[in-house]
């Protein structure tokens, strides 16, 4: 839906419209994608739980596991005491603990960062498709500036989305177009990727961040510009964006317990105690945040996936789906001005065996016909196989205009296209994604003649040079954990 604007949206809105999208228990949700039978079960993702290990921590825990006292960053030994492993417990025929003294068991899984990054990339593609400006904060969190896509204009009627929604409009009261657009983003993530997100909508980044945390999981909370003060005022001080446990304790010692208390406090006193950060927290408690949503990078890949109603081995049905996916991906690349150097497919076979195949081209192109033909060629390897889901991806992207390669007879000219393969029973580690994992590619070579044809040596040199520049100029990445999810720096 590139460039789509909801009906009735204004591009000249007086107030910005910012979404904060925060995935719910993201690592646990990813594990449930691999193992659908874990849906509704207590899931713990972490390390050190295998017999004889005993050292490690919880990366994230599903809400079902949290109900039994398991929290992120908790020592794994404490988690196992609160929620024994299902693999170690004796279960009855219904999968419940046979020991009446054991109320429940948990399903522990190791951290699979490559798979989580793959799922995150699919989510981020949707976000970039739905907003003109996206700031990616972490693997499971991003800010979107959608001011040009929707509006604060109100319409009559309830939300009717079947999930958590904007406070109090299920009774038929007015809601904003921005709420409808936020619901659209949520539904795309759920439908196309299979994980849930909570979305906060506000006139600035800090309000949107607080709103996304307000009604987890699967929440949708909209704070209109005129509601900012009334929304923030009663919140506990730790709900203010940027206030952690230590700062909260110090503020409480000053008699500041709520966001309203912080907003009413003397900013000079806060500055004396906390420095500029204290004055910034005072502004945020008042709903004042003039930071612009700034992008942190261009998409690394573009893809589309689609599942069959039931697994099929029908060759023509698979080819037809690949054709449609290839056309969609190529159109999305064109709409963004993106050239691509790698074309790949993803084939998921029952129960959840993920296979990826990709071919790399001598240079970046924008060629819908080539996307289709390469994707169909790669698909032939799976003729006669039962398939439950298919995907098409273009990656190793280049956004430099006028830099398209002429690939007439490229296979003959290079001898043979490079083919990359990967098969995994439990993870989707697309080699095409890995190729561009550290950022999108650019090309700074001489463009005076608007040339479109270059040697393979030129392409290789530019590839190495652009990678060195990306490594040297990599953008800032926040290590802030969200949704009770621990930072996994120590796991990598």
Task: Measure the CA–CA gap between 76 and 57, rounded to whole angstroms.
Answer: 5
Report angle CA 397, 400, 404 to the nearest 5 degrees.
80
User: How many alpha carbons lie under 13 Å from residue 164 in its C-beta half-sphere?
Assistant: 17
- The answer to whether the Cα torsion of 317, 319, 320, 325 is positive or negative is positive
Q: In what order do the strands lie in the sheet containing 301-312?
A: 301-312, 387-398, 339-349, 353-365, 418-424
Q: Among residues 31, 141, 179, 305, which one is catalytic?
A: 141
Q: How many CB atoms lie within 10 A of CB 135?
A: 23
Specify the 3-state DSSP secondary structure of 38: helix
Q: What is the dihedral of CA 252, 255, 257, 258, to 10 degrees?
A: -140
Task: Measure the CA–CA gap between 361 and 46, rounded to whole angstroms.
Answer: 39
* Nearest Cα to Cα of residue 323 among 376, 361, 272: 376
- Known catalytic residue: 141? yes
User: How many alpha carbons lie under 13 Å from residue 374 in its C-beta half-sphere?
Assistant: 32
Burial of 444 (0-12, 13-18, 19+ CB in 10 A): exposed
Spatial contact of 72 and 58, defined as CB atoms under 8 Å apart: yes
Burial of 455 (0-12, 13-18, 19+ CB in 10 A): exposed
Q: How distant, in Å, are the alpha carbons of 41, 79, 102, 224, 383 from that of 98?
A: 17, 20, 8, 51, 46
* Nearest Cα to Cα of residue 371 among 404, 341, 408, 405: 341
* Nearest Cα to Cα of residue 121 among 455, 395, 357: 395
Which residues, 6 or more positions from 14, have their beta carbon under 8 angstroms from its beta carbon? none
Q: Which residues are catalytic?
A: 141
């Amino acid at each position: 839906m590139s460039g789509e604007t909801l009906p009735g949206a204004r591009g000249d809105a007086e107030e910005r419209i910012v979404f904060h999208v925060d995935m719910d228990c993201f690592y646990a949700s990813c594990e449930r994608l691999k193992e659908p039978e874990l849906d509704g079960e207590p899931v713990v993702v972490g390390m050190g739980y295998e017999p004889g290990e005993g050292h490690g921590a919880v990366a994230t825990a599903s809400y079902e596991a949290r109900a039994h006292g398991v929290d992120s960053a908790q020592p794994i030994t404490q988690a196992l005491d609160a929620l024994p492993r299902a693999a170690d417990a004796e279960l009855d025929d219904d999968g419940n603990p046979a020991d009446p003294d054991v109320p429940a068991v948990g399903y522990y899984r190791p951290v699979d960062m490559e798979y989580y990054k793959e799922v995150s990339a699919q989510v981020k593609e949707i976000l970039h498709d739905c907003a003109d400006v996206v700031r990616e904060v972490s693997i499971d969190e991003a800010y979107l500036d959608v001011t040009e896509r929707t509006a604060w204009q109100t319409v009559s009627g309830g939300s009717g989305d079947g999930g958590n929604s904007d406070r109090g409009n299920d009774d038929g009261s007015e809601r904003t177009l921005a709420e409808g657009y936020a619901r659209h983003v949520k539904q795309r993530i759920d439908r196309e990727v299979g994980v849930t997100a909570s979305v906060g909508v506000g006139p600035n980044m800090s309000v949107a961040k607080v709103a996304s945390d307000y009604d987890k999981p699967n929440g949708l909370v909209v704070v209109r510009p005129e509601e900012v003060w009334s929304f923030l005022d009663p919140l506990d001080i730790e709900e203010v964006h940027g206030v952690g446990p230590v700062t909260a304790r110090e503020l409480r010692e000053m008699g500041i317990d709520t966001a309203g208390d912080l907003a009413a406090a003397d900013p000079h006193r806060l500055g004396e105690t906390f420095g500029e950060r204290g004055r910034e927290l005072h502004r945020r408690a008042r709903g004042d945040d003039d930071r612009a949503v700034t992008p942190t990078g261009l998409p690394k890949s573009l893809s589309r996936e689609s599942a069959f109603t039931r697994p099929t081995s029908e060759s023509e049905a698979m080819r037809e789906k690949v054709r449609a996916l290839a056309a969609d991906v190529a159109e999305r690349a064109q709409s963004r001005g993106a050239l691509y150097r790698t074309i790949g497919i993803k084939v998921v076979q029952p129960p959840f065996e993920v296979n990826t195949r990709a071919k790399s081209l001598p240079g970046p192109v924008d060629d819908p016909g080539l996307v289709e033909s390469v994707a169909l060629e790669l698909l032939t390897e799976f003729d006669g196989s039962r398939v439950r889901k298919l995907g098409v991806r273009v990656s190793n992207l280049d956004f430099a205009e006028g830099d398209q390669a002429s690939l007439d007879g490229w296979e003959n000219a290079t001898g043979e296209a490079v083919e990359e393969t990967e098969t995994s029973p439990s993870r989707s580690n697309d080699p095409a994604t890995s190729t561009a994992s550290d950022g999108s590619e650019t090309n700074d070579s001489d463009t005076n003649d608007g040339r479109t044809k270059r040697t393979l040596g030129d392409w290789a040199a530019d590839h190495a040079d652009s990678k060195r520049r990306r490594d040297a100029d990599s953008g800032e990445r926040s290590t802030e954990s969200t949704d009770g999810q621990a930072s996994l720096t120590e796991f990598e």
